[in-house]
Structure 1
Amino acid sequence: MPELPELTALAAYLDARLAGATVVSVQFPTAFALKSTGFDPDILVGRSVRRVHRHGKFLVFQTSAATDSAEYADEGGALSIVVSFAKAGWLRLSAELPEIKDAPEPEPGSKSAPGYISARFGFSNHGTDFEVELTDAGRWKGLAVFIVHDPEDVPGVAELGPEALDPGFTLEEFSRFFASKQRIKDIIRDQKRIAGIGNGYSDEILHAAKLSPLAAGASLDPESVGRLYTSMRQVLGDATEALEGLGPDKLKAAKKASMAVHGRTGESCPVCGTTIQELAYVGTSFQYCPGCQSGGEILERPAARGSMEDGE
């Protein structure tokens, strides 16, 4: 699942190319990616892009009205395209508009090709045509697109907690989340508590903080909570800086290459040399270093508690 660092870089990359562009085409090859029903997608055609930005793990294309008429004179006339990439969604950007063809329906129960297209948007900006394709490589299609007046009209956006890197998100506020018995990996991935962290970077943050993913929040002393907060800021901040300027075709590979433990089962920990382990859950898994994080113990799947269902 795309997370705060790569979505920040993606939004900036798109904004540099699409701010001021006119929407010239909209297509949903299959209907289920469009989750909002308040607007016909064609209402976007002719509107201009004000900016592209990130909100939590959502990508937002903010558009203005295509006309200066009184009907669209206020903010109520503006619309936003809000994208949730879910577990296996991503985006392709091209500078030419190829012939648009409907995507074939996948066979029931089969895996689709990585290029399965959920939606297409065409843009024109000062003589350059761009096409944005939203793709979903997952077996079960989770990528979702919402067309709304305000991103806050999307329930997942409205429920977001503070941004993980927001300067106003203090250690004191962060510490309040660790009074429960919920596992700390689940706590820092809960978007209603902290916006922007998914399965991959939670593995990296916990490794940097030298904490077990299965530790209960209430088991952490103030020093451990402070170390976790510092690690969160450091890991996400460094990753965001490292990915700056990269296009969508390079971001996923750059993220993967930067990971110390996530996705590196069986490799040696770059800190202590211990073999990195994996613990599987229904629908997801996580990686950790026993030497750095669990006192040498190989973790076992505990009795069901909390949630780890939106893995990467």
Structure 2
Amino acid sequence: MPEAPEVAALAGDLKQRIGGRVVERLDVPAFAALKTVALQSAELRGRRVDDVGRHGKFLDLRLGGDHLIVHLARAGWITWREETPRTPPRPGRGPLAARLVLAEEDEAPAGCLDVTEAGTKKSLALYLVSDPAEVPGIARIGPDPLGPSFTLESFEGILAGAGRAQIKGVLRDQSLMAGIGNAYSDEILHAARMSPFKPAAMGHDDARRLHEALTGTLREAAERAAGLSAASLKREKKRGLRVHGRAGEACPVCGDVIRQVVFADSSLQYCPACQTGGTVLADRGMSRLLK
């Protein structure tokens, strides 16, 4: 799943490619992906792409006063195509969820953005709205850890409010802080040398260490991703990960074996020596909350 650093870089890449361009049409062959009905895709014809930004993990294409919001979910992505297929896509079960076609202009050939989602479980979502706050996920979104207002003081307030909730889940809760997913929460906790099952309500020193790890990890990832094309972002994210997705490999810090805890629909990875005092966590239900 693309998280804040990748979505920020993706927004920058798209802004460079399609900023100021005119929309010819928006095709949505995956009807279930479009979650709104107030604005119709046909209304976008002739609109210019005024800006491309983000809200946490949500990508925001501003089109003449309205917004095309894209949430890529776990397996979604956006690909730029220099050549646009002559015929609109047909509804089906393929990976293509939507296609934004840009009109040919004097100094710019026609092209299109393909919004795709791999796999059979479809969670990708599109919203056509006049205000991003109309999207439920954006309306309840928490502060952005990459923003200047995400101070240690504000972070400690979030942790205190979460109480005994496990810190791994708190980091991923988009209503508490925006843009962190499964991968970077693993990376942040490894950098902070902290158990994923530690309660969120913690002392000042632990909170400061976690805040430094959180902001540092995301900023480093954002710097690595900045300026990269959409085609390169996934590879760069994977290359920069130290523990996530690396179960069975050696920890780059201490050399211990990276372990994982598997849940019904996801997993987490951690280093026992760095994060849990050498204790191997069997699973979420049986493992102790490590302080």
Please confirm whether the aligned pair reaches a TM-score higher than 0.5, indicating the same fold: yes
Percent identity, please: 41
Letter in 2 for 1:276: I
Deviates more, 1:36-45 or 1:92-101: 92-101
Unaligned runs of 5+ in 2: 287-291
Letter in 2 for 1:278: Q
Task: Report whether the alignment pairs 1:120 with 2:99.
Answer: yes
RMSD of aligned Cα (Å): 1.4
Equivalence for 1:97: 84
- For residues 142-153 of structure 1, what are the structure 2 equivalents within 5 Å? 142-153=123-134
* Aligned partners of 1:89 and 1:138 also within 8 Å: no
Equivalence for 1:72: none
Task: Report whether the alignment pairs 1:264 with 2:251.
Answer: no
Task: Report whether the alignment pairs 1:40 with 2:40.
Answer: yes
Match of 2:167 among 159, 184, 188: 184
* Aligned partners of 1:189 and 1:202 also within 8 Å: yes
Task: Report whether the alignment pairs 1:4 with 2:12.
Answer: no
* Aligned partners of 2:83 and 2:110 also within 8 Å: yes
Letter in 1 for 2:45: V
Secondary structure of 1:234's counterpart equals helix
1:270 Cα shift?
A: 0.3
- For residues 193-212 of structure 1, what are the structure 2 equivalents within 5 Å? 193-212=176-195
Match of 2:271 among 289, 292, 311: 289
- For residues 38-187 of structure 1, what are the structure 2 equivalents within 5 Å? 38-64=38-64, 78-103=65-90, 105-106=92-93, 116-124=95-103, 126-179=107-160, 180-187=163-170
Deviates more, 1:121-130 or 1:53-62: 121-130
1:40 Cα shift?
A: 1.3
CA deviations on 1:216-243 (whole Å, 9 max, x unpaired) are 112x221111000001110000110111
Output the CA distance in 2 between the equivalents of 1:101 and 1:39. 20
1:101 Cα shift?
A: 4.8
Secondary structure of 2:10's counterpart equals helix
Q: TM-score, normalised by structure 1?
A: 0.87
- For residues 215-230 of structure 1, what are the structure 2 equivalents within 5 Å? 215-218=198-201, 220-230=202-212
Letter in 1 for 2:282: E
1:303 Cα shift?
A: 3.1
- Count matched residues: 282
1:100 Cα shift?
A: 3.8
1:301 Cα shift?
A: 1.9
Letter in 2 for 1:81: L
Q: TM-score, normalised by structure 2?
A: 0.94
* Aligned partners of 2:21 and 2:48 also within 8 Å: yes
Equivalence for 2:289: none
Unaligned runs of 5+ in 1: 65-77, 107-111, 305-312
